[in-house]
Amino acid sequence: MRAAASGTWFTSSFSGSSGANCVEVRFTGTDVQVRDSKNRGGPQVQFGAGAWSGFVSIVPGHAADEFGAAP
């Protein structure tokens, strides 16, 4: 399940109120972008839909529930 509309950056609900030590994710329509929540103007990593879906499916915890499959 997606936590936000496509194109909107969001942080996992598991990051707590401070958002420290977390990443932000956004779905761009065909890709997924990831950035450091403490350095929003810094570099971003971009994944294709298949790569992202594969990644969240093997991450321990609730990543697949939180970040869902890419569009």
pLDDT in 10s for each residue of the chain, 71 residues: 344 556 888 887 666 666 566 888 898 888 899 998 888 899 999 999 889 888 888 776 655 566 665 55
Collapsing DSSP to helix, strand or coil, 34 comes out as strand
The torsion angle over the Cα atoms of residues 38, 39, 44 and 47, rounded to 10 degrees, is 0
Residue 55 CA neighbour count, 13 Å, CB half: 13
Give the domain range for residue 39. Answer: 10-63
Cut 0.75: pTM above it: no
Is the residue at 1 inside a domain? no
Is the residue at 53 inside a domain? yes
Is the residue at 70 inside a domain? no
Q: How many domains does the chain have?
A: 1
Which residue's structure tokens are 């609730």? 62
Is the residue at 24 inside a domain? yes
